[in-house]
């Protein structure tokens, strides 16, 4: 298999990342459920207690005897405040590229989510969202108005068992990947349930937990097969076409792939979660490029029309990174801070960060043609809408 050189690793700011890998489907599901209950967000950890800064004061002068002469020595001056660590300023600078302009699900009378997860946008700008625990598929306008809701939690046809990814075909039909029962459900454009395909297994055309899903311009459906460590390709009616990948850490191999997305030129971008990287392939499965430095525990990816990409690291950092097409870190979407970063801040910096509206277990992202980013803030049970700063 012909490959191109790997992207040069880019430095990441902040404290050293704590490595975390999702080894099994059960572990991934438990983490998501735990985060939804607010038990697994490191940014919500209570900072260690610290003595308040001492106000400026002058201690009594001390004396020293030199020969027969007693002289007064200068009294020490206590610092009025701690010197800023710089971590808060660094994190706020990284998140300054986007302004949060709306939040869905946090006000009375609005649609309520349990664990919003997968996101995609169709050609008309409508947003499609899955709810992992709620077992629901929703279609929304860009202002957050609900156009329809389909499904309910459960394993039967028409129900959704832990839905993860969502994608829209050329005819408007909607395909949803269900990790709980290892299948794909198909809905009509108006949300009416049509049918399902695939089930649990290791043979071609079967899944060990269907995760991310994406559809290219030729209506080929690409699915991340988490437990079988591969990508599989189908027609929009469920006919198996091809697949590639096997378990491992080599080029073109996977360890628990989760996110999948179609990028510029039709290439297929796959979040190789267990190996903490993103691999890019042609639609036929030929390796094009590897991005090694995308953050710890990456899960979901989205791309904009310029080829910039966004990678969510939900659990270790509660962070969504924004990269250039060459893999250069451009910043973060939304505010976040790891436990290690909070511990490295001064008391005043920590208090300021803890007062900010911060991400918790962010998963799905989707980018509109105008650069607007929609983000499923899973453990906070809301969807956030961001626009590029400055219009």
The full 3-state SS of 10-26, as one line of letters, equals CCCCCCCCCCCCCCCHH
The pair phi, psi for residue 10, each rounded to 5°, is: -110, 140
- Percent of the residues in the chain that have a pLDDT greater than 90, as a whole number: 76
CA distances from 204 to 133, 218, 226, 238 (A): 28, 21, 14, 12
Is the model's pLDDT at 27 over the cut of 60?
A: no
- Report the chain's mean pLDDT, rounded to a whole number: 84
Rounded to two decimals, what is the model's pTM?
A: 0.80
Q: Where in 55-173 does DSSP place strands (E)?
A: 63-66, 69-72, 98-104, 116-121, 127-131, 136-140, 146-150, 163-168
pLDDT-derived band at 77 (thresholds 50, 70, 90) equals very low
Q: Please spell the DSSP secondary structure of 124-148, one letter per residue.
A: TS-EEEEETTTTEEEEE-TTS-EEE
Which residues are within 8 A (CB) of 391 and not within 5 positions of it... i.e. 6 or more apart?
A: none
Helix or strand (DSSP H, E) at 322? strand 319-323
Span 150-186, pLDDT tens digits: 999 999 999 999 999 999 999 999 999 999 999 999 9
Is the model's pLDDT at 280 over the cut of 50?
A: yes
DSSP state for residue 89 in the 8-state scheme: H
> Pairing mode, if any, of strands 373-377 and 69-72?
unpaired
Determine the 3-state secondary structure of 213 from DSSP. strand
Is the model's pLDDT at 261 over the cut of 50?
A: yes
- Percent of the residues in the chain that have a pLDDT greater than 70, as a whole number: 79
Give the residue from 107, 188, 190 showing the smallest Cα distance to 148.
190
Is the model's pLDDT at 387 over the cut of 70?
A: yes
Q: Tell me the C-alpha distance between 344 and 348, whole Å.
A: 12
Q: Which residue has the tokens 């043609």?
A: 369
Give the residue from 269, 176, 247 showing the smallest Cα distance to 24.
247
What is the CB neighbour count within 10 angstroms for residue 48? 9
């Amino acid at each position: 298999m012909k490959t191109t050189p790997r992207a040069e690793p880019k430095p990441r700011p902040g404290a050293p990342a704590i490595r975390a890998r999702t080894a099994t489907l059960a572990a991934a599901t438990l983490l998501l459920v735990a985060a939804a209950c607010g038990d697994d967000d490191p940014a919500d950890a209570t900072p260690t207690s610290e003595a308040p800064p001492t106000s400026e004061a002058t201690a009594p002068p001390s004396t020293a005897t030199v020969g027969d002469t007693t002289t007064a020595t200068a009294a020490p001056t206590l610092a009025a405040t701690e010197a800023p660590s710089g971590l808060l300023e660094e994190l706020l600078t990284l998140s300054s590229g986007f302004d949060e302009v709306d939040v869905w699900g946090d006000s009375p009378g609005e649609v309520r989510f349990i664990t919003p997860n997968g996101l995609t946008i169709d050609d008309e700008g409508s947003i499609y969202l899955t709810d992992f625990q709620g077992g629901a598929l929703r279609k929304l306008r860009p202002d957050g108005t609900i156009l329809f809701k389909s499904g309910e939690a459960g394993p039967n046809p028409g129900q959704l068992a832990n839905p993860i990814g969502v994608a829209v075909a050329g005819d408007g039909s909607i395909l949803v990947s269900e990790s709980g029962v290892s299948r794909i459900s198909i809905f009509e454009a108006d949300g009416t349930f049509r049918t399902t395909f695939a089930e649990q297994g290791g043979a071609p055309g079967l899944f060990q937990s269907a995760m991310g899903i994406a559809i290219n311009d030729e209506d080929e459906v690409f699915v991340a097969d988490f437990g079988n460590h591969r990508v599989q390709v189908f027609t929009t009616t469920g006919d198996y076409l091809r697949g590639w990948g096997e378990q491992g850490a080599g080029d073109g191999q996977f360890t628990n792939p989760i996110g999948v997305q179609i990028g510029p030129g039709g290439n297929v971008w796959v979040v190789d979660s267990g190996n903490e990287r993103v691999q890019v392939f042609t639609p036929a499965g030929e390796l094009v490029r590897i991005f090694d430095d995308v953050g710890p525990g990456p899960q979901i990816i989205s791309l904009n029309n310029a080829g910039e990409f966004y990678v969510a690291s939900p659990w270790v950092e509660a962070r969504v990174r924004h990269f250039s097409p060459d893999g250069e870190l451009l910043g973060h979407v939304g505010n976040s801070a790891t436990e290690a970063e909070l511990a490295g801040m001064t008391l005043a910096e920590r208090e300021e960060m803890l007062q900010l509206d911060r991400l918790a277990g962010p998963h799905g992202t989707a980018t509109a043609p105008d650069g607007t980013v929609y983000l499923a803030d899973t453990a906070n049970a809301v969807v956030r809408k961001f626009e590029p700063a400055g219009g």
